[in-house]
Amino acid sequence: MQKKLVMPFNEKLSDKVREALAELPHVEEKYMFGGVCYMVNDKMCVGVVGDQLMCRVGEENLEAAQERPGCEQMQMNGRPMKAYVLVSEEGMLTNSDFRFWIDTCLAYNPHAKAAAKRKAK
């Protein structure tokens, strides 16, 4: 049996995200990208990868998001993810900074497309 490599992620930041989404219906936690992703209404919304907040902001909001401190476009296997950014601690120094990112992700969520469901084997 092959062992699955699990990369550590910031559990304290993940707890903060979980708490921010606690009152919402239809939130699911999934472990992916070597971190944790919070699905809202079956769509990837926000997550934690390493010590960074992964935010689904939408392609149309990408440029404005990157102008904020500590924010960069997310890359997967060297390829840019068009609708996602990673936010470092520098971009979440205050509760209002953190809340900005959560609110931005939640505002985009109704416009995001859900991933195709995989068929069970």
Please write the tens of the pLDDT for every residue from 35-53. 999 999 999 999 999 999 9
Distance CA 49, CA 54 (A): 6
Instruction: Count CB atoms within 10 A of the CB of residue 1.
Output: 3
User: 14: exposed, middle or buried (C-beta count within 10 Å: 0-12, 13-18, 19+)?
Assistant: middle
Read off the pLDDT of each residue in 88-109 and give the average, rounded to a whole number. Answer: 97
Phi then psi for residue 112, to 5 deg, are -75, 150
Give the pLDDT confidence score for residue 28 in this predicted structure. Answer: 96
pTM metric for this prediction: 0.88
